[in-house]
A and B are shown apart, each in its own frame.
Chain A
Amino acid sequence: MAELLAQLFNGLVLGLLFGVMALGFMMILSVMEVINFSHGALFALGAYFALTLQKFVGYWPALILAPVFVGLLGLAIERFGIRRIYGKDPLFGLLLTLGLAMAFEEIIRIVWGKTGSSLAPPAFAAGPINLGILWYSKYLLFLAVLSLVLLFLVWLFLEKTQYGAIIKAGVSDSEMVLALGKNLNRLRTLVFGLGAALAGIAGVIAGPMWSLKPTMGTEILMPSFVVVVIGGIGSFWGAIIGGLIVGLSKSLSILIYPRMSELAMYFIMAIVLVLRPRGIMGEKSLLEE
């Protein structure tokens, strides 16, 4: 029973983290029509930046600074790379970001070494806590709280700001947004920067949960994809629901049949696609054309 509860908690925590990753990935996908293959690499860079920064500035400043640096990198990627391929076949954006992902992963190997390193959790979140029914990791609870805060901030941004309105409008009709005189170029740069920063901060907060290794970006990229496919492109709540489904499927399948833990989410994805081809919350958008 305790084991089941623990895995349930793990799944929820993981799900919130996947939600954060998937939202950044999806914002980039919907606004720039680019499948950002470098999203995982940006996640990994966030974690490694924090690893280095923590040695100099401590936990909290690193938590803020590392994502800021990743975000700046994102701005540069958009400005000097992705901007040149707007309006071309989606394949080009995909390949460009794949190239970046490979280069980043190799740079991590060169700078921080091939073997794993570990990112320390903050002192107050180290060790387990007694929740009455089970002992649970303090850090994972802290991670869940941080993820919820991030998700709330993204929700505020998408629902309560003008930028959010433009982003959502851009998903359904980017021509019209242009015709209304909105500067899509600035918006796109901003969105890529924000998406990258989200990936970066996800990396920082996930760091203490997993060990840091150069391939960590590759590993988290696929769950983010699957979350977006399950939840539906362009839906905030879709990403949350998708994230929780993927997180829970990963952790609960460990109980039943550990080998299935990587596979379960793909089977769920296939079932969702049969029942709802655009994902659970997905609506018809320009991306299908």
Chain B
Amino acid sequence: MDVSRYIKHPLFLILFFFFIAPVAVIPLGGMSLAIEVMIWAVFAMGFNILLGYTGLPSFGHGLFFGCGAYLFGLFQHHVIKGVWIPLAGSILGCVIIAALLAIFMAKKRGIYHALLTIAFTQMFFFIAFQWDAVTGGENGLMGIERYPLSFFGLFNIGIESSLSLYYFVFAILAVSIILLWKLIHSPLGTVFYAIKQNELRAKYLGYNTPFFKWLSWIISGAFGGLAGALHALLTHGAFADAIHWTRSGDVVMMVIIGGGLTNFFGPVLGAIIFIALRDIFSTITEHWYLFYGMLIVAIILFMPEGILGYLKVGKSGAPDSIKEDSSKELKPASLDLKGVE
């Protein structure tokens, strides 16, 4: 067994980076930012299954992030004072929401798909915002606790301090990345990518494409819920503004900035850059949104393939089929086949 092969693997390098990051982060006092980066990395990578690999533009995934957080809190308040079961509840709840919503979505693609995601996320925003008996409305759902992690009642590990929470989130990040990596390199991942490249062709090859789109929604929704639950642990609360459409662009931007459309690890880089920029700009100016808006415009106009795509390092982690520039969509091919439908 060749150990060096594993050490050079980008998965290993990324995880090693996050494993040792606290050495640098603790002196700077940015532990909660570092945890946030990892949470958003989980969210963005899961989201990228839908966006980058299945090619379905969603602007509504803040919905899962928000619902994950609420469900985590609700489970803690009403079911059990723990971490594992609320976490599982958040994921399961988001899977159910995704499964229901995706019934509408799975038959759509492109711009119409995006339009519907925006409308639905806003619907959930108002439900969360108005239903204050359950969600706490404007004030958010407070009192979410970092209870110790219990391992089958055998032993407990506290996650009260930010360092221990960091390594808990790190462990989840590691499991998530490995799961997603396996998924992308599985036959299922290939079907997702085939749908992105040309849905009609995938259909004619015998794949039930609406079903796979539905599945892609569920997977991305599950990771959204997981990330939302972790964020609730970090901030001790769940808030409606995570669901608002103005926030739903954040995760999309992370994927784009990092180069997630062409690289498996793009969303991780995107999360690091996004959180860092937000932190820097919002401390030096109260008009962070002006800079954020202009940054979005600049990236879309001048660097739409994101940082990793721009630097052409898109090859390292991506499967062979994903090496080509996937930002140039399948327009011509689908137009050719229009008469066939």
Contact = CB atoms under 8 A, between A and B. Distances in A.
Contacts of B123: 263, 266-267, 269-270
Contacts, number: 131
B329 A94 contact: no
Contact of A225 (B119, B130, B253, B297): B119
A287 B112 contact: yes
B295 interface: yes
Contacts of B328: 88
Contact of B118 (A103, A225, A259, A263): A225
A29 B296 CA distance: 20
Interface string B49-66: 001000101010000000
Q: By DSSP majority rule, is chain A's interface helix, strand, loop, or mixed?
A: helix
B258 to A, nearest CB: 14
A101 interface: yes
B122 interface: yes
Contact of B304 (A85, A110, A267, A277): A85
B287 interface: yes
B201 interface: no
B8 interface: no
A222 B119 contact: yes
B287 A110 contact: yes
A175 B115 CA distance: 23
A185 to B, nearest CB: 17
Interface stretch (B154-162, B229-237, B331-339): B331-339
Interface in A25-62: 29, 33, 35
A165 interface: no
Contacts of B111: 29, 33, 35, 90, 287
Contact of A103 (B122, B297, B304): B297
Contacts of B120: 266
A180 interface: no
Interface stretch (B31-39, B72-80, B244-252): B244-252
A91 interface: yes
A289 B338 contact: yes
Interface bracket on A:
35 or more
A256 to B, nearest CB: 14
A228 B112 CA distance: 11
A266 B114 contact: no
Interface residues of B, number: 47
Given A88-B304, A99-B293, A266-B119, A94 B109 contact: no
B12 interface: no
A160 interface: no
A163 to B, nearest CB: 22
A79 interface: no
A273 B101 CA distance: 12
A225 B328 CA distance: 26
Given A84-B301, A101-B293, A107-B290, A95 B256 contact: yes
A12 to B, nearest CB: 23
B114 A106 contact: no
A99 B300 contact: yes
A229 interface: yes
A62 to B, nearest CB: 26
Contact of A88 (B249, B293, B329): B329
Nearest to B196: A89
A148 B37 CA distance: 50
A98 B296 contact: yes
With a 10 A CB-CB cut-off, give which of A94, A98, A260 has the most chain B CB atoms: A98
Given A102-B293, A266-B126, A228 B115 contact: yes
19 contacts: A33-B111, A87-B331, A89-B55, A91-B51, A91-B57, A94-B114, A96-B296, A98-B293, A102-B289, A218-B246, A262-B130, A263-B127, A269-B123, A273-B104, A273-B116, A288-B108, A289-B334, A289-B335, A289-B338
The 7 closest A-B pairs by CB, nearest first: A99-B296, A102-B293, A103-B293, A266-B123, A106-B290, A90-B111, A99-B297
